[in-house]
Amino acid sequence: MRFIFLTILTAIVVVFLNPIAPFWLVMIGIAVLSALVYPNGIGGFLGGGLGMGLTWLGQSIYLGITSASSLPDRMGELMGLGSGMTLVAVTGIIGFILGAFSGLTGVLFRDLLQKSPKNVYRG
């Protein structure tokens, strides 16, 4: 449940914060969000990654369709990727990687700050 909640909150943060802030500030926001939602390691990784990756993918497709520009195709050819849809897919993959490691950073930072019991036999 926390995974789905983190994914939805991450997508909302990316949609509203991306137009007014640079990507690294969005990544810090995802890390803070992941530390507050309290998922486990893989949940933070996949929740942040899917939230940011799918949002970037959706925004790229939406902007490409609504503007009807030939710029994505030209950029895809310039980069040697072939078509503009390949460039959109690469954008989604980069968004997934950035969001995933941001979510994992938040989980690991939260675990770093938690106190562990001393002199307790853990069997």
What pLDDT does residue 68 have?
80
Helices H / strands E in the chain, number of each: 5, 0
CA atoms within a 13 Å half-sphere pointing along the CA-CB vector of 59: 16
Residue 44 predicted with pLDDT over 90:
yes
Decide: pTM greater than 0.95: no
At 25, list the tokens. Answer: 């500030």
Cβ contact 29:17 at 8 Å:
yes
- Whether 108 shows a pLDDT value over 60: the answer reads yes
Residues of the chain with pLDDT > 90, as a percent, come to: 59
- pLDDT category of residue 96 using cuts at 50, 70 and 90: very high
Q: Which helix (H) or strand (E) holds 42?
A: helix 41-67
Question: How sure is the predictor about 24, in pLDDT bands with cuts at 50, 70 and 90?
Answer: very high
pLDDT at 71: 82
Model confidence at 63, pLDDT cuts 50, 70, 90, reads confident
The pair of three-digit structure tokens given for residue 110, joined into one six-digit string = 């939260």
